[in-house]
Amino acid sequence: MCLLAQACRHRQHLSHKFELAKIGQSTEHNYCGVNCGIMDQFASVFGKKDHLMRLDCRSLEHQYYPFDAKGYKLVLIDSRVKHELVDSPYNKRRESCERVAATLGVETLRDASMEMLEANRDKISDEDYKRAVYVIGEKQRVLDVCDALERGDFETVGKCMYETHNGLSKDYEVSCVELDYLNDIARECGVTGSRIMGGGFGGCTINLVKDELYDKFIATACEKFNEKYGHEPKVYEVIISDGARRL
């Protein structure tokens, strides 16, 4: 009976956390006017110290992967470009994906493949095609990163980060010149991985940096960014911690 009661309390606790994440998403939809997914809200509630999480945004099934990156640091570089997702083309990106999914006869692009996309290329506008190329390609990158984390292969993790940034910049077009410049600086400094963090149209890059390169990278990024844009970016070391909880 004791074990049964504990299991029931655990299920109730999980149910409460799921509800909190859904309330957060609903607020974005109905109050902020951003037709977002549930990833950010889910991560805020279900985050786990020193772990990354793979989330199925449809079923809400999730799996944790240890992030034991000895010899590396994670750091956010904030461009200080404010992003306004409501007035930005954010919702238009989702509309593009929905149009392509309808053309391919699937519920969402997570059910589509590159082969399906290419077979219907003549039915899809150039803009919608680029959006779909990014989304479908990103599905595989997520799986590749998960495999690499299990092997402790952070070079592959970093390579995928750069590929994601390129897709977000060139195909999904949610970057900005300041974020692309920070990404370029990271490449020049030999940073293992760098990509947009968050909704895009401003904000930050997240960077996976070897310890011995960290100080030079930060100094170079601040100096070059200030020279080009008249202000230094903000720098935040990343600590992966547990999600929101009652203390």
What's the CA angle centered on 59, arms 133 and 118, to 5 degrees? 20
Nearest to 72 by CA among 220, 241, 242, 238: 238
Question: What six digits make up the tokens of 139?
Answer: 């599905």
- Structural contact between residues 30 and 23, judged by C-beta atoms closer than 8 angstroms: no
* Cβ-defined contacts of 106-109 (< 8 Å, 24+): 108/58, 109/135, 109/136
Distance CA(46)–CA(51), nearest Å, equals 11
Determine phi and psi for 145, rounding to 5 degrees: -65, -40
Of the residues 40, 78, 144, 153, only one is catalytic, namely 40
> Is 119 exposed, middle or buried (CB count within 10 Å of its CB: 0-12, 13-18, 19+)?
exposed
Other residues' Cβ atoms within 10 Å of the Cβ of residue 87: 10
Question: What six digits make up the tokens of 62?
Answer: 């999730």
Nearest to 63 by CA among 182, 6, 145: 145
78 is catalytic: no
Return the active site residues. 40
